[in-house]
Structure 1
Amino acid sequence: MKIKYILPMFFLATACTKQPKLEGLDLEKWKADKGGCSGERTKNIEKLKSLKEEIKGVSSNDIDDYLGRPDVQQLADRNQEYYIYFLEKGKHCETLQEKSDAQSMVLRFSAMGMATEATFQRGVPK
């Protein structure tokens, strides 16, 4: 009997996700600049830094829709996940397997698939 109430509540909670307001970003150019290798993403670094609070609470599915698939995707402890988007050209542009220290934006997602943190760094998390 309880499952009858729990299941609909779960679907309601996951259906109502936050839609980010990413005004000022040309998302088509962002998606087209895979790995930041064309230099389009570099133009958006300061804007992205100002929007990092807006990204928190957004589902990984919505991030995929807005920013496209990440350049690198990593699984972490407790079913957490990291999406890494390179913001500038680096070694990864010549060879995908090459470790790169190019500037990147790292989004951390909880086990529920919600963005909990957005950081800017060099390369990928260790």
Structure 2
Amino acid sequence: MTDFVVQQNPRKKSPRPHVGPATKFFADVFNQLLGVTGARDVETGRVRQAKCTSLSQVLRYQRMGQALRGTSQTSLYRLSRAETSPSIDVVYELAKAFKVSPQVFLPERLDD
């Protein structure tokens, strides 16, 4: 009888998908807005720099507890690192949260 031993195969890293110039532009604008935006703690009144965590909570609060798909802390972190492209709904939600026009997130023209 043959003896078998269970072993884990090393995970293969999948290649990072190519991100387009619009996604990079979005990430740059998103990070700039995060850098100049403060997040105020409702209970203590303390203001600190906004991060993906606090922004995710603000977006959930704006939608009365119903988080929009693509606005979780992890999703926002991926958007900030240009690892994924936002949906148009997410662009509008972020524009509303930052109190800017959605147009801010779109480049005037794309250079390849």
- Higher strand fraction: Structure 1 or Structure 2? 1
TM bucket normalised to smaller: under 0.3
- Higher helix fraction: Structure 1 or Structure 2? 2
Which structure is richer in relative contact order (CA contacts within 8 A, separation 6 or more)? 2
Question: Which has the larger Rg?
Answer: 2
Question: TM-score scaled by structure 1?
Answer: 0.26
Question: TM-score scaled by structure 2?
Answer: 0.28
